[in-house]
Structure 1
């Protein structure tokens, strides 16, 4: 019986990881294709770039508006509906003839992702063997690494070879395959929470402190990652290949960290939140200090990916365990905080980089995480 359950859990983890890969590929692919999209639509990069904003708005709105209902619907149903919305969005993006249509399609995709991610993380915890929730969560989170290291380069190569529309069409096909994979998941019953669950989730012990950690973590990540490639190219030349090495190093580090996930369950993921954020602050300072040496910077980028994996795993695991009956609502708040952090980074990181350079950006990220450490350390009193 135990062997059967372990195999079932392993299959579910693989399916849920594949879903994160699809979501990650969609999330990351728009930015590198933006110049081609703008040219294809006969518009400027600024107008085409509004699709990025629409995608983020859709995710946050979906997480906040639909998140209160997530615990009242079976997880598999939520995943199928959310991935279906993403399939429509990617197909619509491939067919878009105007930037406004592209933005609308990306808004729909954001709505789908806003429920897919919390449902994925919730179901991962619920199907994990006893005492292995952090390990299962960490494995599912490696989907982001796979998307960054493999999915996005393949999509951009396809975009260069046959056009950006083909890249979106391929993503639409992947969404369809993923829906078929979701159908293999067990038909679990809904936990039963109804409307108004977000307020109750926010009041659950520990949730506000962990959400503050997520907001700091994501603001720091998106702010630094957005300009790390620019900074390393300005400092060392080499064009897009140099920036690609940075993304590769980070992605490899993020994926390699999965080998320590079983230790997180043994040590207790909740008690590791504050130390992980503190260590991550040190990594950002080190990134700021090593920008002048390409080899050192790339080595630190690998460590950055590793520590970021641990930090994200303990944050998501902590939130998933905070209020089991409201798990979907809590993780919807996590998704809102994640993309809220991205919005904060988008508003503040650019001006800071232009005014003071990459070093100041790394130090600012470290300070933000340092402020979050005591909040995370006192999370049980929230």
Structure 2
């Protein structure tokens, strides 16, 4: 694999580094998203209920947010490639601990450690993607990297439900450990990616002074809280309310992943039309999907169709949001991506813990309606965010 600085000079094609980064995103995504569909099996193993198991997902979110907000400045200080490799090694160790956890508290602690590692890995990945992007193909390059979320859904989450039914939930994490070793091998050439800067690492919180970032982070928070709040409980809804086996959540995740991946072919239009113009519209599309989801909650077949559209709309919105944030201040890209990851996983914590009591008292359709309201707020925040006069990435 070519060094990332050489790759960045190639103006006409997607850099090879994007595919290695795609695998890294897939690894983190598999852990982030696999617990929802297999939560009923984990709950049976530990003798507790699904909301208690989902507290591990909340711990992962808190760990990711804390690490991204407090430590992501190390990315600009030491270079994103080196930080990514170290974070992945810690992440793999945490996955192994998750697979061997004897009690729920140990499982939660392992997921907290995984979150601390992911909080460094994700902003490093997005920073490397921005560094590798040829001019005018930022969204195309990022689309390849974000395809890792599709890998996690199609090859990870969808299979995890089947594996949990056949071999037990612990085998899910054991398999992801081996996939993680492959991801580390694929990032060997990226360890020197991105120039390290002299001086002390700045806190990502210092990037809050960048014009326009506050409203975009508010949009990110609402968008992600809606996603994680709904996703955390859709597997239990299928299992308990619709009477389907745990593996049914795998097929639903597959539909989401296919929709998410299918949107890659449209990413070039984000570069052509500008993410600032498109982002509010994408959020409105996601809002519409949640309204359809509320209406389709009682039908598994209808949910599968709606979830495919959910994946498409979420990919478009996420791509435009990250490109928009990366354009704000290229010199502080690591810190900005740290803020993005921190807010994302604070939203994971808020979504899983906040939606849980509502789900216990009401039903899944109510969660979808709340998600629609949150995404509408995200669209408003994105529309109000000022556009920079100049940017290295098209805004």
Q: TM-score, normalised by structure 1?
A: 0.89
CA contact (8 A) 1:193 1:326 kept: no
The structure-2 alpha-carbon separation of the partners of 1:368 and 1:30, relative to structure 1 and needing over 3 Å to count, comes to closer
* Higher deviation after alignment, 132-141 or 23-32: 23-32
CA–CA distance in structure 2, aligned partners of residues 226 and 50 of structure 1: 10
Deviation for aligned residue 1:98: 4.1
Which is worse superposed, 256-265 or 133-142?
A: 133-142
Partner of 1:169: 174
Paired residues for 1:103-118 under 5 Å:
103-118=108-123
1:366 to 369, 372, 380: 372
Relative to 1, partners in 2 of residues 1:100 and 1:252: Cα closer, same or farther, differing over 3 Å? same
Could you tell me which runs of 5 or more consecutive residues in structure 1 were left unpaired when the two chains were aligned. none
Bigger drift between 62-71 and 10-19 goes to: 62-71
Aligned with 2:350 (options 344, 358, 370): 344
CA 1:188/1:208 → structure 2, altered by over 3 Å: closer, same or farther? same
| Greater helix content | 1
Matched, 1:64 2:69: yes
In structure 2, relative to structure 1, the CA distance for the partners of 1:85 and 1:56 (3 Å cut) is same
Q: Indicate yes or no: 2:298 matched with 1:279.
A: no
CA shift, 1:329, in A, is 0.8
Offset at residue 294 of structure 1 (A)? 4.1
Q: Is the 8 A contact 2:23 2:183 kept in 1?
A: yes
Deviation readout 1:315-367 (Å, 9 max, x if unpaired): 11111111111111111111111111112212322233344433332222222
User: Of the candidates 246, 251, 259, which is equivalent to residue 253 of structure 1?
Assistant: 259
**What is the number of equivalent residue pairs in this alignment?**
381
Find the aligned partners of 1:339 and 1:79 in 2 and give their Cα distance: 18
Tell me how far 1:148 sits from its aligned partner.
Answer: 1.2
> Given the alignment of the two structures, is residue 220 of structure 1 paired with residue 226 of structure 2, yes or no?
yes
Asked if the contact 2:129–2:141 (Cα under 8 Å) also holds between the matched residues in 1, the reply is: yes
Cα shift at 1:180: 1.4
Asked if residue 305 in structure 1 is aligned to residue 311 in structure 2, the reply is yes
Correspondence list, 1:162-241, <5 A:
162-185=167-190, 187-191=193-197, 194-232=200-238, 236-241=242-247
Secondary structure, in 3 states, of the residue corresponding to 1:10? coil
In 2, Cα distance between the equivalents of 1:58 and 1:22? 17
What is aligned with 2:98? 93
Counterpart in the other structure of 2:3: none
Rounded Cα–Cα distance in structure 2 between residues aligned with 1:259 and 1:145? 13
Question: In structure 1, how many angstroms separate the alpha carbons of the residues matched to 2:54 and 2:206?
Answer: 36
- Cα separation, partners in 2 of 1:381 and 1:138, compared to 1, 3 Å: closer
Aligned in 2, Cα 1:125/1:241: closer, same or farther, shift over 3 Å? same
Mapped to 2, the partners of 1:171 and 1:316 lie a distance apart of 26
Is the CA contact 1:197–1:326 (under 8 Å) kept in the aligned structure 2? no
Residues 165 and 246, structure 2, Cα contact 8 Å, conserved in 1:
no
Measured in 1, the distance between the counterparts of 2:377 and 2:13 equals 41
Tell me whether 1:16 sits opposite 2:14 in the alignment.
Answer: no
More off after superposition, 320-329 vs 1-10: 1-10
List aligned pairs for 1:13-92, cutoff 5 A. Answer: 13-34=18-39, 36-37=41-42, 44=48, 50-92=55-97
The 1-side partners of 2:378 and 2:193 are apart by 38
Q: Verify: 1:126 aligned to 2:117, yes or no.
A: no
Q: Post-superposition shift, 1:75?
A: 1.1
Change (3 A) 1:237 1:11: same
Which region of structure 1 is more displaced relative to structure 2, 370-379 or 13-22?
370-379
Shift of 1:6: 6.0
CA contact (8 A) 1:71 1:194 kept: no
Cα 1:295–1:176 change in 2 (3 A) is closer
2:388 is aligned with 1:379: no
More off after superposition, 354-363 vs 105-114: 354-363
* SS at structure 2 position matched to 1:205: coil
The residue aligned with 1:328 is: 334
For residue 147 of structure 1, report the CA deviation from its aligned partner.
Answer: 0.6
Shift of 1:111: 1.0
Q: Given the superposition, is the C-alpha separation of residues 280 and 102 from structure 1 closer, same or farther in structure 2, using an over 3 Å criterion?
A: closer
2:323 paired residue among 314, 317, 321: 317
